[in-house]
Structures are given as C-alpha cells and as structure tokens.
A and B are shown apart, each in its own frame.
Chain A
Amino acid sequence: MTQRNASLVKGADRWLVLLWFILSAIGVISIFAATYRDGENVLQGFISLKTDYSRQALFFLLSGVAGIFILLTDSKFFTATANLWYAFGILLMLIVFPFHSNIKGTESIIRLGSSVQIQPADICKIFVNLALAKYLSRVETDFARPRSQIIAAIIALVPAGLSIMQKETGLALVYFSFFLVMFREGLPPYVLIIGFSFAVLVVATLLLDPNLLALILTGIAALAIFILRKQVKRHRSILFAIASVWFVCVGIQRFVVPFAFDHIFQPYQVKRIYDAIGKDYVPKDAEAALEIEQKAGSKKKTSSNYNVKQSKIAISNGGLLGKGLLSGTQTRYDFVPEQRTDFIFCTIGESFGFTGSVLFLSIYGILLMRIVTIAERQRSVFSRAYAYGVASVFFFHIAINICMTIGLAPVIGIPLPFVSYGGTSLLTFSVMLFILVKLDSDRQMVLR
C-alpha cells in the first residue's frame, strides 16, 4: 500500500495537480454563485445532489478518482492503445447518428437512461490527441513530408467533420487547435498563417462595413509594398504576389462571402452565423425572413446577440474590484442565459471584478505555460505531442470561451475547462490532464 502511494506521487507534476484542483474548485464555487438562490440550505443542497453545484462537486470527486486510476495505469498503455481508442471514438461518433437525442438543437448527444448524457464529439478530443501523438511519434513518420502532414490533418479533422454533421460546429472548431501540435512538430508556418488570416478575413467581413474593410486591406497591401520596397525593386514578382493576395482578399470579402451567404447557405444558417458574432441579420427579402421565422419557431429563442450583450453588462458591472461573491446584480438574477455553462466567466467577472478576472486568467496562463514547459522536457515524441495537444485544446477552449463572453469572438458553445458546469466536460478535461501527468511522471522511462 505504501509502495503504491509512493509510486502514485512519485514523479507526478505537483503544479499541474494543484492547478487542476484550484480550477475545479473555482468551478464549483462559481456554479454555486450562479445558481444558488437565497434561502436555500447550502448543506442540504450539497448532499441532495439535486443542485447543479453539488453535481459539479460530485464530478470533481469522480475526476479525482479517475485521475488516481490513470496514475496507477502503466504509461505504455496509452501508447499501445492510442489507435484503438481513436477507432473507438470514431465508432462512438458514428453511433450518434442513429441514436442521438434532440437536445438544444444539436444532434451530437446520446442519452443513456434519464440522467446520463454522452457527447462523443467532446470525448473524442482525448482519442484524437492520443492518436495524433501516436502517429507523430511513429519511427516511420517523416513529418516534413506533405503526405504525413495530410494524414495528420485527416486524423484531426475526421471527428471535426462528423461533428459538423451533428450540427455541433463549436466542437468541430476545437479540432483545428491540433494544428498547433503539428506546427510544433514541423508543419510549415504559412499553413497556420493562411488559415488564421482566412478566418480573420471572414469574421471581419461580417463585422465590418465592406468598404471600410476593403480600405483596410488596401492599406495593408500598401504597407507591405512600402516595407518590401527594396525587394520589390529587385523582383517585380513580389509586387505581383502582393497584388494578387490583395485581389483574392477583396474578392473573398466582396463576392465570395456574400455569394455564399445568399446562395449556398440557407437564410436561417446565415442568421445563426450573424447571431454568433453578435450582429443583427437583415434578411435580403421577405421570403428569407419568413423562412427564418419558421425555423426560429423550433429552435431556441434567445438570440446570441442578447447573450453577448448581457454577458458584457455583467462583466462590466464587476468594475475594478468586483461586487463580491453572491452580490452581483446581473449574474444573481439570470440576466445572462447559459450562465453556469458557457457564460460562467460572467459570474467571476462580476463577483471579483478586473482584479479577480486577471488573477483567474493568470491561473490558466500558468497552467498553459507549465504544460508547454512539461512538453519540452519530454524525451518521447508521443509525450511531447500529447502535451502540446492538451495545451492547444485547453488554449482554444479558454481563449474562445473568454472572448465569447467579452464580445471578441462568435458565440460557439464551448465550455471553459474545469470551470463550466458539465460532468462529462470536467471529466474529459481531467482525464486529458491526468494522462499528461502520468506520461510526464514516466518521462525517464518511455523513450519512444
């Protein structure tokens, strides 16, 4: 027994476990603050398991247990079964299609009994992470070759594709975060830059006035020519390249996006995209308006526009020092929809203000930096790739979720790791983290 305990603690990175504990605890407290009603018996609330915060606390406990089990597992188990897990994950996602239940407009959830819900697209993150790490760590993989890069991309993006088919675009986008891992392992940077630029361009097209955006693009092109003026003198082709990039950008902004919205997407889809970035969509004709109305009848009614506004109001209301726990006027009284899940940060923002928010986010920052540090000290490619995968997924979740609540990113329902309400979400993130802790503790042992 003592031996076991020693092996459990030995080599495990205490920082990670501590941060995990702090964040999960903050999560339970925030959910308590967001859902507690005056006059409730707190103790009873915790014991009865009928309140959200008590359930979250239960899953916190379960995650700890799962973590212990993972730490007791042999780390070779993960390398050995990575592909198997991936296959299992894909299978799960395929099973969703015939057996899914309709909850909140997604078709990605399987219900087992009345209370247990499984979202394979969410869990699959771990499997993809494992499989990608496995693929990158293979001796025969030469990641400099485009062929390997494409295979790695396919491994990451198959679940994303399935996820989109299940109408869960938010989770699909998470899988794009694995490109950071690939970047670390040798993916040419222009892939990231082009991809990122394209995303920014599309979002900017939606957010900004078309003429203003065209002007900005022209300005950027002019700036590029100015900076590269000496090279341009030598090679006319650079000028040509810049001009064509500019042309493509303006073309996308001016014609491709509007064309896609008018002719490829259905009006209600366009409306959703607009809602997601917090803008009002004006249908192009009465027919489209009618169609939106018909669709809206069956879908959830609160627009994301409202969510973002209320969320910003709540966070802003926190001020510099915050209103104090359980004293926020906005978060206490349900002004922000989805407050315990995707918009949990509002509670922290209003209760603890700017100071508290910065401290809270710093914990995440430390976590991410710590993971990167751990990744870099790994001897095996598998462990390192896996660690980067964890960091990327966490980062994507944190960045998008927080930006969502403060109006910098479209509202795509992805949770804040460890803090948002949701048993499976907490469990998934914990398992991901504890596998990393286990791999790290055995870093001297596992070579490949």
Chain B
Amino acid sequence: MPVFNQSRSNIIRLIFGGMFLIIFAQLFNLQVVSDKYKKMAQENALFPKRIYPTRGIIYDHRNRAILNNTIMYDLMVTPSQVKNIDTGYFCQLMEIDTAEFRARVIDARYKNGPFRPTIFEDLLPPDLYAKLEENIWRFPGFNLQERPVRTYPYDAGAHIMGYVGEVDSNILRRSNYYYQLGDYVGRSGLEQFYEKQLMGQRGIEYWIKDNKNRLVGHYANRDLDTPAIAGRNLHTYLDIELQQLAEKLLANKVGAIVAIEPKTGGILAMASSPDYDPNSLTGPDKQKNYGKLVLDVRAPLLNRAIKGLYQPGSTYKPLAALIGLDEGVITPASGIACTGFYYGCNKVYKCTEKAPGHAANLRLAIANSCNSFFYNTFRLELDNPQLHGPRNGLMKWKEYVNKFGLGERVGVDLPSEDAGNIPDTLAYDREYHGSWNSCTMVTMGIGQDKMQVTPLQIANAMCIVANKGSFYIPHFVEKVDGESPDDTILNKYRQKHSVLSHISDADYETVISGMQDVTEIGTARIARIPGINMCAKTGTAETYLSLEGRRTKLNNNSIFVCFAPRENPQIAIAVVIQNAGFGARWAAPIGSFLVEKYLRDTLTAERVKQATVIANTNLVPGYFVRLQFITDSLRGETWAKQTGDSSRLKRFLDRSLRKEMLDTLIRQSVRVTIPFGPRPKIATAVTDTTKRKITDSALIKKTQPARIRKPDSLKLHKPDSLRNHKTDSGTIRETEPNPLHKPDSNKIPGAETRTKTSDFPRKRNMGITAGHSSPETSGKSVQGLAIKPEEQPAVQQDDSKNKTA
C-alpha cells in the first residue's frame, strides 16, 4: 500500500470539511446577515387585509333607524375552479348569454388571476340572489359573498343623510392617503359631515397567503392584528314621519322645507324637492341611477334647503319690524295710510292690500303684510338720523340682518351650505357708482332686491324670533354614541347664541302678536289650526328667468314661515315653493300641515284630503322642459364633436321625436298619498290583539302604493322584512283623540268586538285612524292600554300578528 494514500484520506477529509465551511458561510450570509431575502419573504407570504367596520346607524328622535346597514351579496368567481358546470342553466339564471359568461370569466382571470375570487356580478337583486343561493352548489367556482350596504328603511331624507361612494383622487390626497382606492366614504349629507364618527376605525389583519395568493390563515396567532372598531351611531332630532310628510307635500313641486325645534336648534325635518330615492344609490343600479340624477336639470341631488337661494319676500318683514323697533325708528303704534301704493320715492311701489286701515299699527301691518309700511320702515332704518346717512344706515341694517343669521353660513352639520346674500354698500357703489339713497333699494324692505337667503336661514331666523333673541345653530345630530371629551364636533351646536337679546321682550311680543294675527285675521288664515296659536308670515317673491336671451317673469315663489305654539314654541318652519304663486296659496297650508302633524302627531281626515290635493298638484315650472331639451341637445352636440358619433344629436333634430321629448317632464307628475290618514279596512283584518303598536308606515305600505318617484325606482323599495320589523316606538307627545273622525262604515263584522279597545293604541299613534270605537270609549281606554315608548323595544317582530290572525 503506497504511503501517499494515507495522507490522501486527510485531503479527502479536508475537501469534505472545506465544502461544509463554504455552505455554512453562505447560510450565515443568508440567514443572519442578509435582509434582502427576509423582506422578500414578507412580501411573498404576508397580506395585510383591511377590515372594514360597519358604519354607524343614524336614528331619528324616537330611536327609529333611518339609515341602517343591510347585507347584499356579490357573486364571486374563482376561474380556476369553474369546471363542468351547466353553463346554459347558469346563464339562464343570470339572464346573460354564454359569450358574456365567457367574457366575464376571462375578465376575472385577467383582473385577479385564476386562483383568487373576483366579482362576477356585484350587489345582486334580491330575487336573483334567492335563485342563486338555491342553486349555487351546482356551480363550483362560484360563491356568494356578503357585502354590507347602506339602506334607508323609510325611503326618506335622501338629501340629509347623503350617500357613500368610492373615494376619488381628491379625497385620497386630502385625507393624506388615509383612505385607499376602493374605500367607501361619505360623499354628501350627514354621511360626509360625520364621516369620522360613522366610519369607525379600520382594522388590519395579517394573513398568510400561499404561492397562488390565496389567503390561508392568520399570521403569528393574530398577535399583530388590530381589530376594527364599529362606527358610532348618530342620534338625530329628526322626526322621520314629519320628514316623510314634508317630502310628500313637496312632491311635484320645486322647493324646500325646513323645520327646527327652536329650543334646541335641532332640525326636525328638512326636505328639498325634486328629490330622489336614497335607496337607488345603494343597490346594483347605483351608477345608472346616479347618472340619471346628475343629468336632470331640475337638480334632484341639490339640497335646496341649504343651497337654494331665494328672496325671502314678506317673510323678512317681522325681522324688519324688530330692527325698526330696536333702532327706535318705529314704535308698535306706528302706522301708515296705505291705499295700495307707496309714493315715498320717485317711483310708485305697489302694495297688495288696499283696504283702508290695514296698516294702522305695526301689528296690523304685519298681519296684512303691508308693503308700504315696510318700505317706509326700511327707509327709516337707513335714513336713521342717529346714523348720519344711508351708508351707515345700510351697514347697521346689514349687521342686524346678519345677526338674524341671514347672509352668512348658519353652520349646519351638512357639507357645502350656501351663505346667501345680504348686500352692503360696496355692492350698490359698484352698481350705482356711489350715487344711491334709501329709495334705490327700497324693495329690500320687503325682502327682495339683492337679498337672498336659504330656507334654512329663514327657519333659523324664526327660531331667533321665537326664542326672543337667542338661538342654537341648527343641527341634526343630538348625540353621538360613545362620545368623549375629545369629540368637539358637536360642541358648537350646544352653545346658546344670544345675538339679539338686547331687543326688548316687549318688541318681540309686538311682532309675535303681529305674526299670530297673520293666521288669525291676516294673510295666512288658511294655515290656522284650531287650538294652536301659530305665529306665521307668508311671503310672495317675484322671480325672473333669463332663458335663451329672454327675461321672463315667472310665477312668484310661494314662501311661508311660522312657529308654534306661541306660548312655548316647539317648531319653527320655513317653506319655499318655487314659482307656485301666493305664499298663502301653497306654502302656508303645507306649513300648517307640518305643524299639526308635529304638535298633534296626526292629521285629521279632512286635512289629509286637503294635503293629498296639494301633494298631487304639479307645480313644477314648465321652463324645465325647455331647459332640459337645450341642455341635452348641447350635450349631444359636444358628444358629437368629441367622438364623431352624431346619433345622440340626431335625436334632437328629428321633429317627430322632439315633441315627445319636450313632453316628457310634463307627464312626470307622480301620485302621492299622505300616509297619516285613516287606516284602511284591509289593515283592520290583520290587526293584532296584543298591546303592540304597528308602525303606521308599515300599514300604509301594505295597502297603498308607496310614493313613487320614478318608474324604475320601484324595485328598490325596501324589502318586506325591513318594513314589518319596524314598529313605532310610541307616541311621545300626548294628543287627544280627534273628535272629528267618523266611525268606519265598512269594517269587518265580528272584528269589532275583538279589536275594539286593544286596537286603540295604534289609533293614538296614527292620529285619526279608523274609528272602530267611539271617541268616548277610546278616550277611556287610552290610559289603560297605551304603552310608554320606553317600555317598547325599538324593533319588534310582527309575528304577533300571525298569532292572532
């Protein structure tokens, strides 16, 4: 055996050892030193999944959820698992053809790869969901995924509550990239204003994903996860029934209503017309519906209550009187000899009232809305000798008016409120080159000229009058759940602003008396409610329109403000109906219905009839048809220019079609039923004998066609379950049984004895409902059977109905 062979064994050992050392070195490099691959490992296998909390719920003043969450379903597809399915049957269910099916699956494959689920169709309509859920086992690779969606159970308050939508690049930038693409965020209304409170706090879960990007499990025992915190609920002052009534009264009209509780500044109702079905912006067709709303020249998305600028007209007069009294230029005894004309300036100004003595003193002047008196008052205010000239007079006057909240943003908790306009000297200097006097803008004395205010501002001004100089900033939200001292958003709404308390109570009393006379002996006698001392003022403002270069006088805006009851003001209302006519003709009754509904919690049968007539009267100005035509054809032209596709434009050139198009808006008057009237017979048959009350809206929905806004919005009405599960949480304000209602003639025999007494609580609730029982018996039984609202759960199952049926 050669000697070298012995040493060679050592060489071989060395080779082995050397190799192992090299391996150890590389392992040390990879595992201990290098960071590069560890980062790649994180990217490889960790997926930070955002967990979205449920958004907060918005409640009305009686704890009814008026903006809630519901679950809708998305149909998801995982392309790699789609094998051997009955495509024909599937397409039949989905109502698509096989080519479309294939295209969508391929699209999903492109978007997310074959192994991850991708949306095949989002937000399935309920009927389709039901069909699919039954059959989903037949289609491997498809599954239904829950998606929380906002729902408006009362179909009301669209403008107030707003809607959520995906974030755009602007919001992304403004939020400092707190949001990410695809996030939902409040885009208008309370949803936007209280976004921080409603959205809650997002959580992050770290998931492990596998080589095909499927999420397979939690990382590190969920130690690093932060849980999502649900959004906080908002409790508002809104009375959803009042809101519904206001919206229904505004149907077929253009205008706005604002109702405020003067004691708190809480907004009880805020309606703007034309409006839209809020649920149409949550369902599967939201994009389509939104597109339609945007293109409508009547601007259904516009909240006219805070963005509509109107001349207040005569509704400004009580304020003018207060300013005059405080400045000392008039006294309660001041009067004017008006015969229908005001001759104080070079030009003759008209007054609507001609009867002699109608402005013998301030009270009468307000009651009869004498223009001459207030022209004079305005001039006295401007030419106040203490102020040395109309320039100072105007500025002083402006200061007063601004203090009444006109011409400045009120600060309501809604985004994008308008300020309105109270002109100052600058505006007139510009127009009249400095040479003007109190006669130049004398019509401002009756709330016209350059004065522009929003309905919210006049309603707020009424609160100031009702409160005799003080007010709270009008707001919707009373409290936010889980409020801490850090939440400052509501602080400014809880402060009392005593802006005009220096005006003496006697002055206020004079003006308030004048306003009460308005309903008693003055212009708004139509609005009088027996038993309620209502202080009101009507307004009729002239409007003009410049369309296609022509300035035409339109019908006057019909305006009405009021607060009631006089002794203890609980509600202040402003109603503006655009181009409708006299204030007393349309706006006054509407305001009166709302006051009655709020204070008595019901309307009498006769009043319901009147309200229905008003609600069904179409007062939409005709010029919208023309305007829509012009706008649409211009859009068609732009489209043709941009794309070379003139098909859209041609529609407008075709004479036969043109007439039809011009007609479309006129025909769009919708039938409205006022839901707070006598309960129909059919509901009687299924009444419960328990002590529970059923929501009136539920009953109405069942028997009467719901308010229809647009033909295609029908299917978006809330599901049955939602309707039935809501029960009224009872009457808060005590009301006497109305003596006017008559016994129901066509009630079911036999049902009478059973339902006689137990039925009554609902009647209390609904006001004048079907009179099975005579007023006397009901009056007795009320006390025994009415259930206090506190004792009732906010949401009740209505299976009690079935038990007794």
Binding site for B on A (CB under 8 A): 38, 144, 180, 183-186, 309-310, 312-320, 329-330, 332-335, 349, 353-354, 357-358, 361, 364-365, 368-369, 372, 375-376, 388, 391, 395, 399, 402-403, 406-408
Contact = CB atoms under 8 A, between A and B. Distances in A.
B210 A357 contact: no
Interface stretch (B31-39, B274-282, B506-514, B780-788): B31-39
Interface in B298-332: none
B28 A354 contact: yes
B156 interface: no
12 contacts: A180-B15, A186-B2, A315-B27, A316-B36, A329-B208, A330-B44, A335-B44, A354-B28, A357-B27, A361-B20, A376-B9, A406-B26
B22 interface: yes
Ranked 10 nearest A-B pairs via Cβ: A316-B37, A333-B210, A329-B45, A317-B41, A354-B31, A334-B211, A316-B30, A335-B211, A399-B19, A313-B37
B8 A184 contact: yes
B216 interface: yes
Interface of B: 2, 4-6, 8-9, 11-13, 15-17, 19-20, 22-24, 26-28, 30-32, 34, 36-38, 40-41, 44-46, 208-212, 216-217, 219
B9 A184 contact: yes
A318 B31 contact: yes
Given A38-B217, A333-B208, A334-B210, A316 B28 contact: no
B2 A333 contact: no
B31 A320 contact: yes
B41 A399 contact: no
Contact of A395 (B16, B36, B37): B16
Given A313-B44, A316-B31, A316-B38, A333 B8 contact: no
B13 A316 contact: no
A311 to B, nearest CB: 10
Given A312-B30, A318-B31, A403 B41 contact: no
A263 B275 CA distance: 78
Contacts of A388: 12
Contacts of A315: 27, 30-31, 37
A61 B487 CA distance: 70
Of A144, A309, A317, most B-chain CB atoms within 10 Å: A317
A329 B46 contact: yes
B32 A319 contact: yes
A354 B32 contact: yes
Of B5, B6, B13, B41, most A-chain CB atoms within 10 Å: B41
A310 B20 CA distance: 22
Contacts of A313: 37, 40-41, 44
A137 B28 CA distance: 42
A408 B22 contact: yes
Contacts of B38: 316-317, 319
A357 B13 CA distance: 21
A344 B259 CA distance: 75
Contacts of A320: 31-32
B12 A372 contact: yes
A38 B210 CA distance: 13
Chain A interface SS verdict (over half): helix
A395 B44 contact: no
Given A180-B12, A357-B31, A316 B5 contact: no
Given A333-B210, A335-B210, 13 more contacts: A38-B216, A183-B11, A186-B2, A313-B44, A316-B30, A316-B31, A316-B36, A316-B41, A329-B208, A361-B20, A372-B16, A391-B12, A399-B19
B562 to A, nearest CB: 69
B19 A329 contact: no
A186 B501 CA distance: 118
Contacts of A395: 15-16, 19
Contacts of B211: 333-335
Contacts of A354: 27-28, 31-32
A309 B41 CA distance: 10
Nearest to B43: A313
A408 B21 CA distance: 13
A365 B23 CA distance: 12
A183 B32 contact: no
Contacts of A353: 31
A358 B44 CA distance: 25
Given A186-B5, A365-B17, A329 B31 contact: no
B45 A330 contact: yes
A183 B45 contact: no
A372 B13 contact: yes
B44 A408 contact: no
A312 B6 CA distance: 39
B219 A329 contact: yes
Nearest to A187: B8
Nearest to A407: B26
A333 B208 CA distance: 8
A75 to B, nearest CB: 21
Contacts of B46: 329
Contacts of A364: 20
Nearest to B10: A372
Contacts of A314: 41
B45 A335 contact: yes
B47 to A, nearest CB: 11
A358 B25 CA distance: 10
A333 B27 CA distance: 22
Nearest to B4: A186
Given A317-B37, A333-B209, A408-B22, A365 B16 contact: yes
A186 B2 CA distance: 8
Contacts of B45: 329-330, 333, 335
Nearest to B219: A329
A185 B5 contact: yes
B24 A358 contact: yes
Nearest to B9: A376
A325 to B, nearest CB: 15
Contacts of A403: 22-23, 26
Contacts of B8: 183-184
A180 B8 CA distance: 10
Contacts of B44: 310, 313, 329-330, 335
Contact of B27 (A180, A335, A358, A365): A358
Nearest to B23: A402
A353 B31 CA distance: 7
B5 A368 contact: no
B210 A319 contact: no
A372 B20 CA distance: 15
A332 to B, nearest CB: 7
Nearest to B27: A357
A108 to B, nearest CB: 27
Contacts of A335: 44-45, 210-211
A395 B20 CA distance: 10
B16 to A, nearest CB: 5
Nearest to A392: B12
A375 B9 CA distance: 9
Contacts of A144: 2
Contacts of B28: 354
A331 B415 CA distance: 52
Contacts of B217: 38
Nearest to A364: B20
Contacts of A399: 19, 23
A329 B41 contact: yes
B590 to A, nearest CB: 66
B22 to A, nearest CB: 7
Contacts of A319: 31-32, 38
A315 B17 CA distance: 22
